[in-house]
Structure 1
Amino acid sequence: MSAPDGLPPLREVITRHGLAAKKSLGQNFLLDLNLTARIARASGPLEGAEIVEVGPGPGGLTRALLWQGAAKVVAIERDRRCLDALGEIAAHYPGRLIVIEGDALEVDPLPHLGGPARIVANLPYNIGTELLVRWLTPPEWPPFWESLTLMFQREVAERIVAQPGTKAYGRLSVLAQWRSSARIVFDVPPSAFVPPPKVTSSVVHIRPTPPRAEVDPRLLEKVVAAAFSQRRKMLRQSLKSLGTDPLGVLAHAGIDPTRRAETLSIDEFLTLARSVAAAG
């Protein structure tokens, strides 16, 4: 029996192409087309939209995006076993699906896009955080993407939206909330995946906003990473890895050196980064 989009059911596609999920690639496939459609809708109305998808696998989310009206999907897939299955989707939606074989950490989708795009993906667990940091820290802002709708482990999603003073607050919180707004849209249970992971996943929606302050994003990332590298230690100790005098930098920023990273607001981290820049 065909699925609502006229293509074969995903389980049939996986069996026919021998697509057992590989742990080494961080793969967990979503087979419920109602669920993939819900993820696609979380990015907003899709009619005419250009989408970048990372790790489409057998194409469950890809199909939902196209079925609901995306004008173009640029899908980046490292696992060449999935290419034939994705090719069948491309044939079903002529001219609307571009499949790029390669590592998403190395592939630039911009040459395939006509303008601002959305990124919608069930990210492979092993590269999801690194990709997010890259999307959040380009030198130019606003970025090429107009929104991110991404699936993460629930723990990672909570870090993205966490507030100062909470256990989950950390590097991702600061980078995500400095010049964008982030919210958890809904959770996805392990049973929705093949194979089921050991943890609950969450869909996070992120939109760019005007920066709270202009700071070199790479420097901010470096400062925040140093501050949270030793969460239990005071800033006067954790910031030593930056190679500058932490007491002088903190004094210039007006921040008590005995505080810990999790107590700093995002604005205070921005002030701290500017202080480090001034120290040269």
Structure 2
Amino acid sequence: MNPTLPPLRESLEAHGLLAKKSFGQHFLLDLNITRKIVRLAGPFEGRAVIEVGPGPGGLTRALMESDAGPVVLIEKDPRFIPLLSELDTGDGRLAIIEADALKVREAELVTGPAHLVSNLPYNVGTALLIKWLTGPWLPHALTLMFQKEVAERIVASPGDDAYGRLAIIAQAVCEARIVMHLPAAAFTPPPKVASAVVHLIPHATRPEPATLKRLETITASAFGQRRKMLRSSLKTLGGATLCEAAGIDPDARAETIDLAGFLRLADALA
């Protein structure tokens, strides 16, 4: 890290930058917090790290201090590119890509296993997670900040109010746990909700893409009408016949079915 860098707030003021609500931006400027997130994400052991939505670079500064190899930033807001460029130490470790992360092909940006470490923009966090979980490129590990409500949906268990599609897709691919909670006051500007950091480690093998696609189809129907029995909510997919083929009680509700049960339903749908 460049020891001559000014504090983040000074850098933001010098560049006249404010968070854009339309981009879901809430900045994390406390380097003690960003360093803790990076410690929770590591060790990186020289592997590449991708950061989405770095904004003014609070998390980037901590990543550049870490044992990460190349640090690749994907930033949609062109206003931040000059500010992020100031973090370049000239050793070739930092790469800045001005792009929409939903459209980026990550495999073209890094070689070998890579980590994802990001304070994700609130308005696209879930869409990005689904992209990484179900797409062709899967990171070595993901350490991502979401709204607390979204984080709880990722790690939820059967019977929890938050249990649904996101928990099933995430846990079919990864082991997921919340590793840190942050109050709204930690951000500039403060959002209306608290946040949490989720650490996801992919299982040794993940379901085939076709299985994941069927899992998405089944969970969309099952949780789209979560108070109904599966015989009703899955009616267009086979209803009771599908459930019986998967060894699932057709009178059960989606919120009571565990991941293994949903995977059996996905296999039966095939």
Matching residue within 135, 138, 148 for 1:138 = 135
Between the aligned partners of 1:80 and 1:213, the Cα distance in structure 2 is 37
Between the aligned partners of 1:25 and 1:212, the Cα distance in structure 2 is 32
| Unmatched tracts of structure 2, length 5 or more | none
Query: How far has the Cα of 1:213 moved from its partner?
Result: 6.1
Q: Which residue does the alignment assign to 1:263?
A: 256
Letter of the structure 2 residue corresponding to residue 43 of structure 1: A
Query: How far has the Cα of 1:6 moved from its partner?
Result: 3.2
Query: How far has the Cα of 1:239 moved from its partner?
Result: 1.6
Matching residue within 243, 250, 253 for 1:250 = 243
Q: Which residue does the alignment assign to 1:113?
A: 110
Residues 45 and 21 from structure 1, CA distance in 2 versus in 1: closer, same or farther, beyond 3 angstroms? same
Between the aligned partners of 2:202 and 2:37, the Cα distance in structure 1 is 19
Q: Percent identity?
A: 55
How many positions carry a matched residue from both structures?
A: 269
| Unmatched tracts of structure 1, length 5 or more | none
Query: How far has the Cα of 1:182 moved from its partner?
Result: 0.7
1:186-265 matched pairs, under 5 angstroms: 186-211=180-205, 216-240=211-235, 243-265=236-258
* 1:133 partner SS: helix
Work out whether residues 182 and 194 of structure 2, in 8 Å CA contact, stay in contact via their aligned partners in 1: yes
Query: How far has the Cα of 1:109 moved from its partner?
Result: 2.4
Work out whether residues 180 and 211 of structure 1, in 8 Å CA contact, stay in contact via their aligned partners in 2: no
Between the aligned partners of 1:46 and 1:270, the Cα distance in structure 2 is 32
Deviations along 1:241-278, one digit per CA (max 9) or x if unpaired, are xx43212211211212211100001000000011111x
Matching residue within 19, 24, 27 for 1:26 = 24
Work out whether residues 116 and 139 of structure 2, in 8 Å CA contact, stay in contact via their aligned partners in 1: yes
1:73-222 matched pairs, under 5 angstroms: 73-90=71-88, 92-138=89-135, 144-211=138-205, 216-222=211-217
Between the aligned partners of 2:106 and 2:97, the Cα distance in structure 1 is 9
Work out whether residues 70 and 93 of structure 2, in 8 Å CA contact, stay in contact via their aligned partners in 1: yes
Residues 211 and 115 from structure 1, CA distance in 2 versus in 1: closer, same or farther, beyond 3 angstroms? closer
TM-score, scaled to structure 1: 0.91
Residues 265 and 196 from structure 1, CA distance in 2 versus in 1: closer, same or farther, beyond 3 angstroms? same
Letter of the structure 1 residue corresponding to residue 31 of structure 2: L
Q: Which residue does the alignment assign to 2:46?
A: 48
